[in-house]
Structure 1
Amino acid sequence: MTPEELARLIALLRRSGTDLHDVEVKAAGGGLPKSVRDTLSALSNDRGGTVILGLDEASGFRPAAGFDAARIRDALASACNDDLHPPVRSEIEIVPFEDALVVIAEVGELDPRFKPCYVAARGEYNGSFTRGGDGDRRLTDFEIHLLHTNRGQPDDDRQPVPGATPADLDETEVQLLLARVRQRQPRAFADLGSQQALRRLNVLAEDSSNILRPTLGALLTLGVYPQQFFPQLNATLVVYPGTSNQDVPANGPRFLENRSFDGPVPIIVDEAVSAVLRNTSVRSFIDGSGRIDRYDYPAEVIREAIANALLHRDYSSYSRSTPVQITLYSDRLVIANPGGLFGAVTEDDLGGEGVTSTRNPVLARLLQDVRLPETGRMVCENRASGIPTMLRELRRAGSPLPEFHNRITRFKLLLPRHTLLDDETTAWIAELGQQNLTATQQLALAEMRSGRAVTNSSMRNLGLEAHRATAELADLVHRGIVVRVGERRHSRYLLAPREEQLALDLNSGVSDVEIVLRALTGGSELSRRDIEERTGLSYMKVLRALHKLEAAGQVHPTAPPRSPLRRYRSAH
């Protein structure tokens, strides 16, 4: 991390008044705090992040007294290597900041095959942490169980269901399934009897008493009423009139609709999509081919989102009491399912063509051959196409891209209702005074304005190649309107603090050297930090300008380079 990037990150921390979710700051004036080990575990088990040592949060993230950068760097490197299992691989460096030195560690997310990362002295179940708010939280037994299953392939969906019989399956759907697979894969199924074919498809399996029973995957796709055996393996919908469950109008209803959807997955998907659309508004447009009705959320997007949640959720005994939850607010649609992303897939991978990993392979296989009600269309027509389809439909409708929130025990998809580039946002972008912004850069700025961080991955989801996404984000940083947080693949981009953007407007067309020289007029003696605050320029820009002015004899320092008393004054 460069000094300039660090200065902008600290400006964000000062503005928020606390640590960020993936940025942990500690003073470490008396040595390396023991809690740093918890943080290293938490960041490794989460999405990675940044540890900054040498700043005191209580004093506004100012340099901490008694901080020994070299000693803390060595202690941190030792902790990463010796105190955690598996060892944490982080990039540790010493960076200058406000006439002092701080230690920065960039911690990457641990490969899912090796999670959880834990403090060795405490053991796996007491020493494994994740991030919660701006702090560290110990992982629950359920979370550790999910991380363990993530190392291999769960088989919950291929297990026979106690008490179920083949009569609990819809015979019509079973015959349609057999006809389809025999036509598509004749070598594997054409010469098999129905019972043998169903066993090969993992629709039927023997239990411990050698009794042939439907599997969980079969009940969920072909069952007449799966909730007879698993009452909560369904989906629920709650529609609120406002932007939260507490936003209730005076004398108004607490919610506009509250219901559950039972039956097999195809029935749940069909009924849930209809219910969501029924509770959203429709706008009509006229084009050359006639009238077009457009919902707040494209129907195809809702269908893919609900089907994905039911397909990829955790079906282990830990979470069979938790349904897929669909919540519709006045400004957003939220779909949440138990169980986070499975396998090596991360949030940054979502949307990439061909990216897939499912904890429920039997269910995924069957849903490719089971139709939605009253149509010939399959529930999942092509694995790995769900999220790319959603992104394509949202771009076509001019809607914001979805937000993905992944945690070990839950995955949540959020669809904003508004249009990204509305009149107010377009006017705000114009006020920035930036020329030649691309369409995707404007969309990225609109995302950041709404409070969401932008990554290289989210830029790719807007249709850019990876190298172009990197270039466009770097250009926004160079313009000074965006700040980068994190390094390399963990980088995310946020709007720069407003005072820095105001400085760009006030100093438009004026060189950094001239801006610094103006700040020193009138006989003022200012520290480098004073100049930064007065001009709004970054650490590196002030430093370069001062070097140039010193070399030209226009500015004189008042003390040696490393002195805390060093100030600058104009030579005139």
Structure 2
Amino acid sequence: MQTATLTAHEVEKLFAMVESHFLDFKAKAIAPGKLTRSIAAFANSDGGELFVGIQEPSAGGPKTWDGFDDQESANGLLQVINAVLPLGQGCRVTWLEAEGRPGGVVQIEVHKNRDIIRTTNNEVYIRRGAQNLPISQPEALERLRLNKGLSSFETMTVDAKDEAVTNSEETISFILEIVPHQEPDRWLRKQQLIIDDKPTVAGVVLFADEPQALLPKRCGIKVYRYRTAADEGTREALDGVPRTVEGCAYRQVYEAVAMTKTIIEGIRRMTPQGLDSVEYPEETLHEIITNAVLHRDYSIPDDIHIRIYDNRVEVESPGSLPGHITPHNILDERFARNGNIVRVINKFPNPPNKDVGEGLNTAFRAMKLLYLKEPEIVQRESSVLVVIRHEQLASPEERIMTFLESHDSISNGEAREICVIREDWRIRSIFARMVAAGMIEKVPGSMTSNTAYRKIG
């Protein structure tokens, strides 16, 4: 075990923490089987931290330090952990001591695991909120396997004739490009895109002329334009009818990117240089939309949703992050839920996934080159949301001063626009700090809603 010593302040901060989806506290007297429920639940979900040796009264009240006498007395605990999740392979254990506290607490950091982890009683648990929930029904276990990428819906067959993919226009045009030339039926069977004379989900997604007719609500893309910067879009803010992108995966990617780019080019907003068109790097849009199409969970009956706001683009893809992938390691780790789709689409002319496994890294780099904030990846319960914000890396103060380089004054409304801040009280606070710092001053005669500020000197 690694060791660490906590200060009195750190202990108080630890005691103030509340059990959650990522955090659990256990007394040192916990039964081994019950302890492994939490370990398995974290490993089967999104990972988390477990502190053993901190007593949390059931009737409420403050937590207490109830540490093990020494590291040797915690050996039984380590053996239990190692039986479920080998130390160093999915979890890390640290011995925590504290000033003025007897003994030590064992901190167990559990990482999301690519396999299904079971307790010492061979039970399966997942973490939901601050609870460890048992998974025993076959349907729930299969859903967990799909979420982890241990099985893939793309290999399932579709109740349709193989002609849906062997004789489609998409297949015929594709076959003419591959080397050496082969018959469609033979090539598709060799690629495991036809099994038992039926097309697989991957085969339909890649080569059917109308996949949405064979897999309704499982492979479409909806594009929305909301004329607002609010946290959520409303019917009132929706600009027109949502657009639908259909067709095979290859064509969906390019059409969705083009449609999104066209809509964005119509957005104009205030910048330090005046009213200007909003700009997002096309590489970022392309890579994130490609990622959504290739790695979504096709077993979930829902579309991919692209929402275009005044200050951001959101791409929501059905399904949780697969295997051991989390929002924190997604740029460094690789795991393909739909291996066949990813592999075969790379054989198309000008494939959307040219650099397999590097798409999101390319998207992040492209944002940096325009001095925009990196995309944000959010794991929801049954979907992955990527938020691409049109926010400069510069601070609000820097943006205001840049605006005043080419304008005589700036109002609260103009500052909200260029700083992408909705609340006027926040802008008033920024103005107050800048006045106190001697950067700006109030324009004489301006007041109430017409108050304006100008640069000093």
Q: Same fold (TM over 0.5)?
A: yes
Matched, 1:225 2:215: no
- Whole-angstrom distance in 2 between the partners of 1:273 and 1:6: 53
Query: CA separation in 2, counterparts of 1:224 and 1:173?
Result: 6
Which of 284, 287, 310 does residue 301 from structure 1 map onto? 284
Structure 2 CA distance for aligned equivalents of residues 400 and 57 of structure 1: 43
Give the deviation of 1:161 after TM superposition: 2.6
2:394 pairs with 1:395: no
Q: TM-score, normalised by structure 1?
A: 0.56
Mapped to 2, the partners of 1:140 and 1:403 lie a distance apart of: 34
Matches within 5 A, 1:463-482: none
Q: Residue in 2 aligned with 1:180?
A: 177
1:368 shift after superposition: 1.7
Point out the structure with the larger helix share: 1
CA distance in 2, matches of 1:423, 1:242: 17
Shift of 1:13: 6.7
What secondary structure does 1:174 align onto?
helix
Structure 1 residues 83 and 262: CA distance shift in structure 2, 3 A: same
Aligned in 2, Cα 1:254/1:143: closer, same or farther, shift over 3 Å?
farther
- 1:243 is aligned to 2:240: no
1:196 matched residue in structure 2: 186
Range with greater deviation from structure 2 (335-344 or 31-40): 31-40
Q: Deviations over 1:383-426 (max 9, x none)?
A: 11211211121111112222333478543323233223333489
Tell me, in whole angstroms, the C-alpha distance in 1 between the residues paired with 2:156 and 2:30. Answer: 49
1:264 corresponds in structure 2 to 248
1:301 Cα offset (Å): 1.2
Amino acid at match of 1:225: E
Q: 1:418: which partner in 2?
A: 391
**Matched residue of 2:354: which SS?**
coil
Q: 1:13 to 1:422 in 2, by over 3 A?
A: farther
What corresponds to 2:330 in structure 1?
350
Query: In the alignment, residue 253 of structure 1 is paired with which amino acid?
Result: E
Amino acid at match of 1:196: R
Q: In the TM superposition, what are the counterparts of 1:409-558 in structure 2 within 5 Å? A: 409-424=382-397
Structure 2 residue identity aligned to 1:44: A
Identify which of 319, 338, 351 aligns with 1:360. 338
Matching residue of 2:440: none
Residue 219 to residue 55, structure 1, CA distance change in 2 (3 Å) = same
Q: Which residue of 2 aligns with 1:378?
A: 351
Deviation at 1:220, TM superposition (A): 1.2
Q: Which entry has the higher C-alpha Rg, 1 or 2? A: 1
Aligned residue for 1:228, secondary structure, equals helix
Count of paired positions = 384
Partner residue of 1:49? 48
Q: Secondary structure at the match of 2:13?
A: helix
Shift of 1:167: 4.9
* Cα distance between partner residues in 2 of 1:356 and 1:296: 30
Once residues 396 and 61 of structure 1 are traced to their aligned partners in structure 2, the CA distance between those partners, rounded to angstroms, is 51
Shift of 1:275: 4.1
CA contact (8 A) 2:204 2:214 kept: no
Number of the residue aligned with 2:413: none
Which residues of 2 match residues 271-282 of structure 1 at below 5 A?
A: 271-280=255-264, 281-282=267-268
Aligned-CA RMSD value: 4.2
Contact 1:40 1:88 in 2 (8 A): no
Q: Which of residues 309, 329, 340 in structure 1 aligns to 2:320?
A: 340
1:162 CA displacement: 1.9
Q: For each residue in 1:80-136, what CA deviation from the matched residue of structure 2 results, as whole angstroms up to 9, or x when unmatched?
A: 644896246352424115655551312232641xx3333334x43xx4122x34554
- Cα shift at 1:309: 1.3
Corresponding residue for residue 312 of structure 1: 295
Aligned residue number for residue 119 of structure 2: 119
Query: Cα 1:382–1:162, aligned 2, differ >3 Å: closer, same or farther?
Result: same
How many angstroms apart in 1 are the aligned matches of 2:63 and 2:164? Answer: 71
Do the aligned partners of residues 166 and 402 (structure 1) sit closer, same or farther apart at CA in structure 2, a change above 3 Å counting? same
Note the C-alpha offset of 1:18. Answer: 2.8
SS in structure 2 at match of 1:219: helix
Pairwise CA distance, 1:311: 0.7
In 2, distance between residues paired with 1:328 and 1:200? Answer: 41
Q: Which amino acid in structure 2 is aligned with residue 163 of structure 1?
A: A
Q: 1:401 to 1:161 in 2, by over 3 A?
A: same
- The structural deviation recorded for 1:137 is 4.3
For 1:78, give the aligned amino acid: G
Measure, in 2, the Cα distance between the counterparts of 1:218 and 1:100. Answer: 62
Partners of 1:97 and 1:155 in 2: CA distance: 51
The letter for the 2-side match of 1:423 is P
Q: Give the counterpart letter for 1:276 in structure 2.
A: T
Unaligned runs of 5+ in 1: 183-188, 288-292, 372-376, 428-572
Are the counterparts in 1 of residues 166 and 184 from structure 2 also a CA contact under 8 Å? no
Matches of 1:217 and 1:266 in 2, distance apart?
12
Q: Which secondary structure does the structure 1 equivalent of 2:106 belong to?
A: strand
Once residues 230 and 72 of structure 2 are traced to their aligned partners in structure 1, the CA distance between those partners, rounded to angstroms, is 46
C-alpha separation in 2, matches of 1:365 and 1:423 = 44
Q: Which runs of 5+ in 2 are unaligned?
A: 401-457
Secondary structure of the equivalent of 1:381?
coil
